[in-house]
Amino acid sequence: MFSKLARRVLGARLATSQLSGEKYSVFWGLPLLASDAISSVAYAVDEILWALVPAIGLLSYFWIPEIAGVIVFLLLVLTVSYRQIVDAYPGGGGAYIVAKDNLKTTYGLIVGASLSVDYILTVAVSVSAGTAAITSAFPSLFTHRVGIAITIIVLLIIGNLRGVKESSRWFGFPTYAFLAAIIVLIVSGIMKGGNVDKSDIPSFPVSDVAFGTQAVTIFLLLKAFSSGCAAVTGVEAIADAVPNFKDPAPKNAKIAYVLLAFAVFITFGGVAYLSTIYHPVPSAQQTVISQIASAVFGKGIIFYSIQATTALLLAMAANTAFAGFPTLLSIIAQDGYAPRQLAIRGHRLNFSNGIAVLGLMAIFLIIVFQGDTHLLIPLYAVGVFTSFTLAQFGMLARWLRMKPKGWRHKALINGIGAVITLITVIIIGIEKFTSGAWIVLLLIPLIVMVMTRIKEHYNSVAKQLDIPNDRLSILSLEAKYDHHLVVPIASLNGLVVLAMRYARSLTPNVVAFHVETYAGEADKLRKKWQLLDTDIPLVIKQSPYREIVGPLVEYIDSEEHASKPGDMITVLLPQFIVSKGWEMALHNNTSIFIANALFDKRHVVVSVLPFYLEDLPIGRNKRENTPQ
């Protein structure tokens, strides 16, 4: 029944042969994989203004275009670089594979760890910001923000478990809606040229004497730049998911990259430019886009539409991670650095375990940080730029090593990117260390360590399990064990008779074993046993503490020690099956406890014999299915 419900919600399972049919075109793949990068427009300009306005006041709007320009340039460098990565690595994997291939494996693992953390943060940050956009429009929902955020994540999990293609359509639409809304805003905003009612834009806090009086320093501008770098997070996603595009996958992915860069350039550049006209002030109550939109259009239908598409896109941007994270983890798992369950495709052909892990971790973060975007963002950028930096250095090392046609030009692009992102990661690491980056800086080496341990374990297991082909032919599958069968029994009933018959048909060495929990309790059983015409011995052990499993394990242990090498003890557990689940709860089900206790016991095989009551040889049985 549960699995029926699951199939209803998640869709019918898909055969492996349907795999290629689940890939997506550029038109639907782009919004799916680019929504993270595009949606960051909704908070990136805010972040720049948060860094500048409290320090230098009105002068901020003078520096906005410069800083935005550098970020757009960085975006272009990353785009060009990642197009080169797509070409070099059409199998997907992005920065992880680039670093692992061209640098040391450890760098690959650092990238893998960074990106894994960041995908989780992408979900948490985007969903928090999306929820904040909703609660900005409807302040009464503010107290329910954690619940709203969790609901959104659960819907994302379900959508993604349904499958790649459907999710790209479900989640692609909001990206286009947002793009359209922002373009309308930019065009209208520029046309009106700021000649509007600006009553909704907050004024500077005059009471703070230090406000806006600091000097413009390089450090301040770099801080603003690093804050604004939130805009370029998410560029990784397309490179990770290259194989998810329709064939020719690499070409489609590269087209998607150009379109992505163009979309971010238009929206981020446009909003940054509008902010120089409308002078929005960073505020926890109202986002920059919301301030500009309400100034340009007033609080009417267009304003609410812009807010709605922004909120929707932010929530959907989290979906980028649902496409990228499971794919990345499946690649890491195939390399043996993550549990191999993450490399298994689920009923709907996606990496369902990865989807579930991502969703649950993000929900955990939302609960811990109470859905507060500003608390989450400092954790966010360190990992992204760590992986960017290592990817760039990896590509640089590749060009220097391979020296293909035009390698100087390519190396220059990656070199510039490497230096810029390295500076950025250092600035972010230092500046945001105390406000949360330390968590990630601690977590990444920890994850790398765990990954290394996992790999070591798989290697050691594989080495010990492996049989070289040349040994196969001289290996015998035949052996002669001395089998001992122990049948734990509670009383002498029809079940025991069947179990004994099964046991004796395998080996003559059968022992019935009973635990006496109260003194004298076993007398009746002993007397009944004597009535039987059998040479099977009945062993009775006292249990002063009324435990069943303990004395049995002790007996097995003593049996095992007494036995010679080559002996094999099999514990046979007769288990009767009742037709209704609730009826099972009425029985002690000792056999389950015994099976668990003996599960990892060396040289002890646990066998469970299920019997249906109506098959028993005694009583009102319907058929006598027992050979004599």
Least Å from the CB of residue 343 to a second copy:
10
The number of beta carbons lying within 10 Å of the beta carbon of residue 559 is 17
User: Which spans in 563-606 are helix H?
Assistant: 581-584, 590-598
Least Å from the CB of residue 61 to a second copy:
48
Q: Find where tokens 């360590």 sit.
A: 449
Tell me whether residue 391 or residue 616 sits nearer to a second copy (CB atom).
Answer: 616
Least Å from the CB of residue 233 to a second copy:
31
Q: How far apart are CA 457 and CA 380, in angstroms?
A: 31
Q: How far apart are CA 118 and CA 114, in angstroms?
A: 6
Q: How far is CA 335 from each of CA 97, 116, 329, 357, rounded to the nearest angstrom? A: 10, 15, 10, 19
Tell me whether residue 209 or residue 479 sits nearer to a second copy (CB atom).
Answer: 479
Contact 220, 55 (CB under 8 A): yes
Tell me whether residue 166 or residue 431 sits nearer to a second copy (CB atom).
Answer: 166
Q: For 570, list phi and psi in degrees, rounded to 5.
A: -115, 125
Counting other chains too, the contacts that 194-200 makes at CB distance below 8 Å and 24 or more residues apart are: 194/277, 194/278, 196/295, 196/296, 197/295, 197/298, 198/278, 198/279, 198/295, 200/286, 200/291, 200/294, 200/295, 200/299
Tell me whether residue 413 or residue 573 sits nearer to a second copy (CB atom).
Answer: 573
Least Å from the CB of residue 126 to a second copy:
29
Tell me whether residue 17 or residue 199 sits nearer to a second copy (CB atom).
Answer: 17
Q: For 237, list phi and psi in degrees, rounded to 5.
A: -55, -45
Q: How far apart are CA 71 and CA 251, in angstroms?
A: 26
Least Å from the CB of residue 358 to a second copy:
18
Q: Find where tokens 């930019």 sit.
A: 186
Tell me whether residue 118 or residue 615 sits nearer to a second copy (CB atom).
Answer: 615
Instruction: Find the angle CA(172)-CA(26)-CA(118) to the nearest 5 degrees.
Output: 60
Tell me whether residue 262 or residue 481 sits nearer to a second copy (CB atom).
Answer: 481
Tell me whether residue 410 or residue 514 sits nearer to a second copy (CB atom).
Answer: 514
Instruction: Find the angle CA(103)-CA(260)-CA(41) to the nearest 5 degrees.
Output: 100
Tell me whether residue 131 or residue 570 sits nearer to a second copy (CB atom).
Answer: 570
Tell me whether residue 280 or residue 326 sits nearer to a second copy (CB atom).
Answer: 326
Tell me whether residue 192 or residue 347 sits nearer to a second copy (CB atom).
Answer: 347
Task: Using only the alpha carbons of the chain, give its radius of gyration.
Answer: 33
Q: How far apart are CA 253 and CA 88, in angstroms?
A: 12
Q: How far apart are CA 45 and CA 438, in angstroms?
A: 24
Tell me whether residue 401 or residue 623 sits nearer to a second copy (CB atom).
Answer: 623
Q: How far apart are CA 424 and CA 405, in angstroms?
A: 30
Quick one: tokens of 481? 């064990």
Instruction: Decide: helix, strand or coil at residue 626.
Output: coil
Q: For 513, list phi and psi in degrees, rounded to 5.
A: -130, 125
Least Å from the CB of residue 443 to a second copy:
18
Contact 357, 140 (CB under 8 A): no
593-619: string of b/e by CB count within 10 Å (b at 16+)? ebbebbeeeeebebbebebeeebbeee
Least Å from the CB of residue 547 to a second copy:
8
Instruction: Find the angle CA(276)-CA(282)-CA(283) to the nearest 5 degrees.
Output: 145
Tell me whether residue 105 or residue 493 sits nearer to a second copy (CB atom).
Answer: 493
Cis peptide before 248 (omega within 30 of 0): yes
Least Å from the CB of residue 165 to a second copy:
17
